[in-house]
Structure 1
Amino acid sequence: MTIPAQQAVERIAALRSELDAHNYRYYVLDEPSVPDAEYDRLFNELKALEAEHPELVTPESPTQRVGGAALDAFGEVRHEVPMLSLGNAFEEDDLREFDRRVREGLADQLPAGDLFGDGAVVEYNCEPKLDGLAVSLLYEHGLLVRGATRGDGSTGEDISANVRTVRNIPLKLHGEGWPERLEVRGEVFMSKEGFDAMNARQLESGGKTFANPRNAAAGSLRQLDPRITASRPLEFCSYGVGLVQGELPDTHHGILQALKAWGLPISRELKLARGVEECLDYYRDIGERRQDLPYEIDGVVFKVNNLAWQRELGFRAREPRWAIAHKFPASEELTELLDVEFQVGRTGAVTPVARLKPVQVAGVTVSNATLHNMDEVARLGLMIGDTVIIRRAGDVIPQVMAVVLDRRPADARPVHIPEHCPVCGSQVERTQLVKRSKGGRESISEGAVYRCVGRLACAAQLKQAIIHFVSRRALDIEGLGDKIVEQLVDTGLIASPADLFTLTYEQVVALEGFADLSTRNLLAAIDGSRRPTLARFIYALGIPDVGEETAKVLARSLGSLERIQQARPEVLTYLPDVGAEVAYEIRNFFEDDHNSKVIAQLRKHIALQEEGDVHAEFAASVSLGEFIARLEIPFIATTGAQKLADQAGSLEGVITLSQDWLTLSVMKGINEKAKQSLRDFFADSANVARAEAIERQLRDFGMHWNSEKKVVEGLPLAGQTWVLTGTLEAMSRDVAKEKLETLGAKVAGSVSAKTACVVAGPGAGSKLAKANELGVRVMDEEGLLALLAEHGLVA
């Protein structure tokens, strides 16, 4: 019977409110208030009323969880606050070391008393580490507007349609007082019972079963058809927040309790612990009860509870310093080693891979495992045919842990490294380790890695090199996935990264899976990558041991590809965070004829951006005393080197002084052993030539002690030190740092009297307090955005 519209409005509102309350009691409080049959009756009544009055259907209605039309693809979501991963602890001592670092980092914040005494106790929030898929839920004005996967931490996939089908995710927040914009982070998982029931249904219908609840949850949440997701027994558990525009409690535990009050489920095992020993007690207790929990977990997460202390501790490159995941011991099983095959990586490393008789380890079928290198094979005493112990390290990576010698068969065969590359047939050579002693002398020993010498003539190396070259953090060529790169190499269309820029429409459209539009899109993406920054280009080259940060240092410091190519390793070590081994890797890479040819080819197609002079910070930055000390003359350290610089005034003067025994013998402040060492060092013509070559390059680069000191012209913040603190909402702190550096500023991690300005976002703590104490200028995010806009760095 149809009821009047006004009565329908009132009844629909009442039903929604009642169903939301039942969902909250069932999913969040674990206190169901009505039988399932009564819930179903109310739900069906609401569904019928909404069918009669479709104009009254709203996105947050409990009936809108069933899923809509299938999607063509997932869109991208840029996380405004990065979703970082956690560091891991595998042993109790690892957790104690984490606690020690936390207390050391909070030395000024902790109660009075000895740093390692009873007074210095940190309160931690403890909860199980669910084995599922990390997701982000964005609420605006209390309504769920977006769901996203973690992705790479910076960019995830838009799974909004799918998260709406997860029954314990509220479509509208309960109560009041929630922030205007609130990003809730948590884990979508599948209970053991739900997983078993789903697999039983899959078997009955002839469908594919899943190996474990984690894979099932991840696969279900990434279905393009939300109706499939809706049919899966998924659950959500909140563990924190990301972007927040509004007020929240000042402790992590308090935030989770607020989320619970607003209808978001949190862990029922949540607990606070004072100090590391209580954390360990919690870890042991959960470990003993692990098998009885209704869901899979792979460890415990500990987080500093005090948010101000979290901000004080800050972050490493990829993880917070205030949180850690204490993993449970890996599961182990026995299986048979069927064979050892060899894979070739981007740098030519030939790596042994164990092919195993398939075995279930912690719910996952394992059929292969890495053996790292031939030294590891020798250490294990491994032979083909052996029975081996397999472990999933951190419940993720399969490893061969040991050989069961009692079960070795009579026909077991030794493992031999191939003499020729299994991909291209080139020679396989063992690497050599070069150790450099004082004065640059070298000693050579055998390394653990074997390499194919085929370089880019080897299809395996070429594929991996190009996959790296086009990756997001390198030239970022969208649409060039692994399979397309493999096609391009296998068909002979490219033999080096430079060949990407000569691809034609006719060549690409003929590839499998390509049509007119996809071909034009790929060629446009390649064309759009022709103007990379110097830092991206350096990283894209794939120089061994040169990651993103080192590439930025090289680009920012030396200013041009030509200088980086020419730089001697001794000069490179004057740059921040560039050690001797990395410096020699850089030098060796650019001295290689093949690499030089590829770079020359690339320069024909690429216009590098942000090239210029050596950064003003490094102009005339090397003193004569530091130069002498860096020569590593035995028995001459920093103090002695400075005395020699003061006495001689130049490198030529030092060389002359070293051979003027009369003058040197009466020189004060340097002992006889150091004087004899100086004399012996410069008596060697090779050492003289090396020192003069280093000085010559320092002069050419403008880094020499007699070079002209400079300031960066045209950069408004040149010579200034800025500090970022608190949460920035319009951009990440990494992006803000990059933009400030573009304006010439140096961005530091601590405040001092020399700090020019502190940018303080919401939640700023001790750094803001210190800035106010020292009278340092403070700017909010609005001021920063205005400054960046003034110089064209933001819209």
Structure 2
Amino acid sequence: MNAKHTIATRIAQLRAAIEQHDYNYYALDAPTVPDSEYDRLFNELRELEQQHPELISADSPTQRVSGQPLAAFKQVQHTVPMLSLGNAFAEEQVLEFAQRAQQALGTEQDADDLFAPELSLEYCCEPKLDGLAVSITYENGMLVRAATRGDGQTGEDITANVRTIRNVPLKLQGTDWPELLEVRGEVYMPKAGFAELNQRMLATGQKPFANPRNAAAGSLRQLDSKVTASRPLEFCCYGTSTEGLAAQHSSTLQRLRQWGIMISPELKVVKDIQGCLAYYADIGARRMQLPYDIDGVVFKINALEQQRELGFRAREPRWALAYKYAAQEEITELLDVEFQVGRTGAITPVARLKPVHVGGVMVANATLHNMDEVARLGVMVGDSVIVRRAGDVIPQITQVVLERRPDNARAIATPTQCPVCGSRVERTQLVRRSKGREVISEGAVWRCMGRLSCQAQLQQALLHFVSRRAMDIDGLGEKIIEQLVTRELVRSPADLYRLTYEQVVELDGFADLSARNLISAIAKSKQPRLARLIFALGIPDVGEETAKVLARALGSLARVQQAYAQTLVWLPEIGAEVAHEIASFFADQHNQSVLRQFTELQVQASDEGQPAVEFQACTTFAGFIEQFNISGIARTNAQRLAEHFQTVEALFAADWLTLNTIERLPKKAAQAVQDFIQQAGQRELALRLEQQLLDFGMHWSCQREQVQAAALAGQTWVLTGTLEELTRSQAKTRLEQLGAKVAGSVSAKTSCVVAGSSAGSKLSRAHELAIPVLTEAEFLTQLAELEQ
């Protein structure tokens, strides 16, 4: 055996020994050698690799730090979105969470069956670490990529930095791991490491971090991984997006632990929601003694099949909940109250406080929400107030210490003029419509009426318009938009598309290349998806999910503009108030002007078309009648009227005699209908509304013809694995346009499964139930045939 072969063998032995010691220390929390022995092995390996650089491999424990600092982080698209968790702050909310899950899963005990066995759900519990969520991907057991959570859809590539974290394995233990494994968890900084880091920062004249979470986030987002390597970071895994590893969440985590990935040592499986509450109390009692910061505990339903059945809301799973601990509180002085102006003109009072540490963070400002909250608290400038961090995050004033009120305390007055533009300030009104009446009450919000002539509103509106989830115009940050507004180059979102290179290059911070890049980014944003364009407009109360509903249901911006509030309420998750906000937004002359300018500037959605099949024929004649809030005409009586008259014209042609012949329709209700149809303009209004339902394909008469015409009407499809040619969203949209429902789990009701690469348990379940399975190529072929 030659010398080089002997050295290569020794290097392999050292790497294996160090990897095993890392596994014992981090994953098992059971070190088998003292630190001095570990250091001796590590130093020997490093010296051998320095002498024989040709033998260095990427997975060597010595290769955790990359060479050159990065210029910027690359964007990473998450294959499966990284969602946030729903929060609970009271025991009642936890019990409601459990009850909702039991109802959805059909596991509630029958109260009439005294002999039925007690039913419960098993939960997996662990502390909620106060750090930064990350995703780490392994291919064939090797770490290949790590990314921040970002906005849940897109994160930043932090692979070089995550490689420096000592308890993150560069190579997985064992041999039975899948070819592709994505684990998710929290990068955090232990309390002891945080204290040591701050001592070093102070010793070198640097500003210390406010808390361990900020320190972890700042360390993980360093462009130079050598800086990250010098920080005491750790990683704890809380899950994986890879399917098929086990039947329970807890078993999945234990399997990840066997591969060298650290999981929480406080992980515990309990049999019911009472066990969750006991776990919360136990961890809470030991919270200050834990070696890391937590802000709550997380409960997850343990059975993965039940998780799949429960599915997700817009931004959070229905099978998990974070139960937060009560925030810490401190007393400080309210120095002043300033008023900020938001995107919609809402005037928000902000408390300026004498700085105080609350839960390890220096707090100098706190929200007062609105003037009703100021009145409720009875707070005055100069008061001593109790400040807490709600959910350990948002500072807020909870109470006034009246016995400390000084003689010179000053009342907080609502501004009559906008603090930014000087326009008048008005209180909003709430209009509640019920049983044919309108009840007008004062709203909690005061609003600047200057609209986009107010620089604060204009700047916030523009920041929203260009944001990643809206028009996604890269390079237009807060400072740039402030310059554009101050120099009066932009007075509305439409003006962004009139900017010239000559105007941009004159702005502070711009040179030739950056100016050309910005003009190019603006031009590229001219044809967004319809949902993005609707969201970008900044319609009050219209978030991303509502924008998606409007885009799918109506298919074009023109239809959204034309839609009456009474039409919009038929769409899912759009109530009367939101419908009123949408209709009012498009009725505004200034907004109409901006939309006309968009058309002139060729800013238009790239995916406009017909309304989606799922929303066709979504009305009923009975519901249409009930919508008019006629006294005495609720669901049952509306159904009687609908069955008798069958058309709007016949209803409005009815006389008193006809109405009194309708079986089981009370005389008072009949009289109310008679009074309604005799009111001036009601018939014309009803016919206008009905015509719009017909135009949009939502009318009850469209049901039989259009739904039956859809190629996949009544079918339920499931997408699993990674698709190469289409995104999940694109595939789902095309299926829905053909009338199919796209579900998140496979059941006996599933019509077909589309299996991409790395398909897991859903594919296995489909085979068990003998459900048809298509490859992506077969799926695309079938789509092409059905869409002809």
TM-score interval, normalised by the smaller of the two chains: over 0.9
8 A contact 2:136–2:143 mirrored in 1: yes
* Cα 1:557/1:82, change in 2 over 3 Å: closer
8 A contact 2:598–2:604 mirrored in 1: no
Distance 2:506 2:68 in 1: 33
Q: What one-letter code is carried by the residue in structure 2 that aligns with 1:651?
A: V
Q: Secondary structure at the match of 2:355?
A: strand
Distance 2:667 2:763 in 1: 54
Q: What one-letter code is carried by the residue in structure 1 that aligns with 2:427?
A: R
Q: What one-letter code is carried by the residue in structure 1 that aligns with 2:492?
A: S
Q: Secondary structure at the match of 1:461?
A: helix
Match of 1:764 in 2: 762
Q: Secondary structure at the match of 2:516?
A: helix
* Cα 1:768/1:7, change in 2 over 3 Å: closer
Distance 2:703 2:363 in 1: 62
8 A contact 2:713–2:738 mirrored in 1: no
Give the alignment's TM-score, normalised by structure 2. Answer: 0.93
Distance 2:145 2:782 in 1: 29
8 A contact 1:725–1:767 mirrored in 2: no
Spell out, residue by residue over 1:225-279, the C-alpha distance to the aligned partner (whole angstroms, 9 max, x if none).
Answer: 11111111111111111235xx512211112111211111111111111111111
Match of 1:35 in 2: 34
Q: Secondary structure at the match of 2:475?
A: coil
CA-based RMSD: 2.9
* Cα 1:759/1:107, change in 2 over 3 Å: farther
Distance 2:746 2:260 in 1: 40
Q: Output aligned runs, 1:98-113, within 5 Å.
A: 98-107=97-106
8 A contact 1:113–1:120 mirrored in 2: no
Alpha-carbon deviation of 1:626? 3.6
Q: Secondary structure at the match of 1:220?
A: helix
Q: Which moved more, 1:575-584 or 1:127-136?
A: 575-584
Distance 2:277 2:388 in 1: 23
Match of 2:200 in 1: 201
- The answer to whether the aligner puts 1:418 opposite 2:412 as a matched pair is no
Q: What one-letter code is carried by the residue in structure 1 that aligns with 2:38?
A: Y
Match of 1:551 in 2: 547
Q: What one-letter code is carried by the residue in structure 2 that aligns with 1:491?
A: R
Match of 2:281 in 1: 284
Q: What one-letter code is carried by the residue in structure 1 that aligns with 2:430?
A: L
Spell out, residue by residue over 1:418-440, the C-alpha distance to the aligned partner (whole angstroms, 9 max, x if none).
Answer: 1111111111111111111223x
Alpha-carbon deviation of 1:109? 10
Alpha-carbon deviation of 1:106? 2.1
Corresponding pairs, count: 781
8 A contact 1:722–1:759 mirrored in 2: no
Out of 466, 472, 476, the position equivalent to 2:472 is: 476
Distance 2:384 2:553 in 1: 53
Alpha-carbon deviation of 1:102? 2.0
Match of 2:240 in 1: 241
Q: Output aligned runs, 1:537-686, within 5 Å.
A: 537-605=533-601, 606-615=603-612, 622-657=619-654, 660-686=655-681
Q: What one-letter code is carried by the residue in structure 2 that aligns with 1:764?
A: K
* Cα 1:527/1:698, change in 2 over 3 Å: same
Match of 1:694 in 2: 689
Distance 1:117 1:396 in 2: 44
Match of 1:347 in 2: 344
Gaps of 5+ in 1: none
Alpha-carbon deviation of 1:37? 2.0
Alpha-carbon deviation of 1:750? 8.4
Spell out, residue by residue over 1:565-589, the C-alpha distance to the aligned partner (whole angstroms, 9 max, x if none).
Answer: 2222112223333222111111111
Distance 1:356 1:243 in 2: 47
Match of 2:150 in 1: 151
Q: Secondary structure at the match of 1:383?
A: coil
Match of 1:142 in 2: 141
Distance 2:82 2:286 in 1: 29
Gaps of 5+ in 2: none
Q: Which moved more, 1:373-382 or 1:457-466?
A: 457-466
Match of 1:448 in 2: 444
Distance 2:766 2:175 in 1: 31
- The answer to whether the aligner puts 1:327 opposite 2:321 as a matched pair is no
Alpha-carbon deviation of 1:30? 2.1
Q: What one-letter code is carried by the residue in structure 2 that aligns with 1:253?
A: S
* Cα 1:748/1:167, change in 2 over 3 Å: closer
Distance 2:678 2:108 in 1: 56
* Cα 1:9/1:722, change in 2 over 3 Å: same
- The answer to whether the aligner puts 1:251 opposite 2:248 as a matched pair is yes
Alpha-carbon deviation of 1:618? 5.7
* Cα 1:187/1:752, change in 2 over 3 Å: closer
Match of 1:177 in 2: 176
Q: What one-letter code is carried by the residue in structure 1 that aligns with 2:375?
A: A
Q: Secondary structure at the match of 1:402?
A: strand
8 A contact 1:311–1:726 mirrored in 2: no
Alpha-carbon deviation of 1:613? 4.4
* Cα 1:340/1:126, change in 2 over 3 Å: same
Distance 1:282 1:418 in 2: 48
Q: Output aligned runs, 1:777-788, within 5 Å.
A: 778-780=772-774, 782=776, 785-787=779-781
Distance 2:613 2:92 in 1: 45
8 A contact 2:549–2:571 mirrored in 1: yes
Distance 1:116 1:275 in 2: 20
- The answer to whether the aligner puts 1:160 opposite 2:154 as a matched pair is no
Q: Which moved more, 1:407-416 or 1:262-271?
A: 262-271
Give the alignment's TM-score, normalised by structure 1. Answer: 0.92
Distance 2:600 2:785 in 1: 31
Q: What one-letter code is carried by the residue in structure 1 that aligns with 2:590?
A: H
Percent same amino acid at aligned positions? 58
Q: What one-letter code is carried by the residue in structure 1 that aligns with 2:405?
A: R
